Structure 1
Amino acid sequence: MPKSKSTIPLKTMSDEFERGMYVAKLSMDELASYEPAMHAHRDDYHCFFIQETGTTSMEIDFQKYSITGPAIAYIHPNQVHRMLAAQDINVNVLIISNESLHVEWLNLLQEIAPLAPLKLTSQELILFKETVTLCLKFWESKPEQLFKSILRDSCNALVGLMITQYLGQAKPKAKLNRAEIITSNFRTLLEQEFIQSKSPAAYAEKLNISAVYLNECLKKATGYPVSYHIQQRIILEAKRLLYHSNRSVKEIAAELGYDDYPYFSRLFSKVVGMSALSFRNKNLD
């Protein structure tokens, strides 16, 4: 894979979609003609997919997924992703910015992401198709008075359906125990702070609990200590940059908040089982 970028390509809402939203129904031919989707990139917006038929293969943060038949998929901002292949598909796409999302939906997505694609039953697909049809009608209509508000509300209804489908697979928040609630809050904070904050004590302080108690909660809920989760998040970002950019390991270490380059190199080797350069070279093969 050629490396011509100094960082991971970023597609922005302002460059791609002026309204802060985009709705479309795509066939196999239309998707195949959208060549940028085949190259690894990030977005600064939320992407929702409702597949009706066919098979789609995609890669999201080094995890490959094969989606067959009715299914939904969600890619949150900053996840590195690309389309690998598609066969006989019909898929609906909703793209929406943070500003256009209802605050409640935005908060929920931040809590539950990242999410794997999820299969739909035939009855569930019918409801999604009906909602998509409504969104498309408003998207294609003339920009009359209140047009954008009506479009935004219909798109948020579709997002709400997506979230409901995912939450149906998860344990209700009202039934979470104390350790699980703290773990959820920690994960949200980690996504915001992993470059600036590296120690368990820093996260415990922001959560107004002791580092010992935070560690107990994480071990109880996930089986792993706080330091494990911090390291995994940092290494994921390092992998993204190693694979999708031509920055040196030293530059990547600095970008991730490590002035001590040798320490970062040892950490990467310990967590991944190979050096950063070996990881890059392996994925170039």
Structure 2
Amino acid sequence: MEQQQLFQKSLKKLGLKSVIPENMQLINSEEFKEFIKILYLPSGYTVTIDFTIHKTIAPSLIFVSPNQFMKIEEVGIAPGYLIFYNRDFYCIQIHDAEVACDGLLFNNIHNMPLVSLPDEEAEFTNYLFAQISGEIELNDSSLEEMIRTYLKQLLIKSTRIWKRQHLEKAVSEQPGDLEFFRNFTLLVDVHFRKKHSVADYADLLSIAPKTITHKFKRLNLPQPNDVIKNRVILEAKRLLVHTGKTAKEIAYELGYDDPAYFSRLFQLKTGESPSGFRLKYHGEAEN
């Protein structure tokens, strides 16, 4: 496989890039920030997604949304691969009925984007990447649909493995519970800047707030109020670290009219003030 291959037609774009030491500066730059990304990494890699560190102990797939921060901290001995594409090429929201991965592989409430691959699944994943690479090289008139077909297979297979690895068995086997998990996740990700209470999401789901709380308890999930607040805090961390906005500006952006209340919430959730978190993060990054 070449170090980078690219398919581009009109506004549609998909690329495949080798994850090797000489490419790390580019991969960790802003170059791919706007794309949906899938990392396929052998063992021995360390990757930070937002503020969570993931270490690969087996061949693994990591799914990264355009709004997430990604940095490969350590490179393993064997090369990995990065596939990146835009929503014009394949939008998981529009095609949700085909792959049902939104809220699981991408944008999930627990920030669990990693799938570890058993040997037989790693072989199939190698096959899919080889086929995508071959199609790009072939440059045939039908390659766009072929690449999209292989990408869909990758997403469907990964979603099945993700459910086995990250969800309680009872949840993954009950379609109704799984859809509730996904729907709540997606609603929080869309509305967390303005809707901060369980009652807000109960209205969106047309159920009673107590029903949400009971479902979360039955599914062995954190309290729904904590899920909502944790999503707000994650966004606040991103804005503190990756922008120059003040804590007051961030509070207003996240729907809090009282910046002092927001600062207390941030301190309660992280153990640090917004300004303290920013200073600490940038200090560690420099070291």
Q: TM-score, normalised by structure 1?
A: 0.81
The within-5 A match list for 1:90-239 is 90-101=79-90, 102-105=95-98, 107-112=100-105, 113=108, 114-142=111-139, 144-169=140-165, 170=167, 171=169, 175-176=173-174, 181-222=179-220, 224-239=222-237
Q: Equivalents in 2 of 1:154, 1:148: separation in Å?
A: 10
Whichever residue aligns with residue 28 of structure 1, its letter is I
Out of 246, 264, 267, which is 2:265 matched to? 267
1:250 and 2:248 aligned: yes
Whichever residue aligns with residue 232 of structure 1, its letter is N
Out of 24, 34, 41, which is 1:51 matched to? 41
Percentage identity across paired residues of the two chains: 22
Instruction: After TM superposition, give the deviation of residue 187 of structure 1 in Å.
Output: 1.8
Query: How many residues end up aligned between the 2 structures?
Result: 266
Out of 16, 19, 23, which is 2:12 matched to? 19
Instruction: After TM superposition, give the deviation of residue 37 of structure 1 in Å.
Output: 2.9
Query: 1:148-207: per-residue Cα shift (whole Å, max 9, x none)?
Result: 222222232233332233234244767338666534422221111101211221110110
Query: 1:23-68: per-residue Cα shift (whole Å, max 9, x none)?
Result: 24x1524xx334143358983432112224x521111121112224
Structure 1 pair 257–226 and aligned structure 2 pair: CA distance change class (3 A)? same
CA contact (8 A) 2:11 2:88 kept: no
Q: Equivalents in 2 of 1:167, 1:145: separation in Å?
A: 36
Q: Equivalents in 1 of 2:252, 2:78: separation in Å?
A: 42
SS at match of 2:257: coil
**Which blocks of at least 5 consecutive residues in structure 2 are unaligned?**
1-5
Structure 1 pair 115–97 and aligned structure 2 pair: CA distance change class (3 A)? farther
The aligned counterpart of 1:240 is 238
Q: TM-score, normalised by structure 2?
A: 0.80
SS at match of 1:72: strand
Higher relative contact order (CA 8 A, sep 6+): 1
Instruction: After TM superposition, give the deviation of residue 216 of structure 1 in Å.
Output: 2.5
99-108 or 190-199: bigger deviation? 99-108
- State the Cα RMSD in Å: 2.9
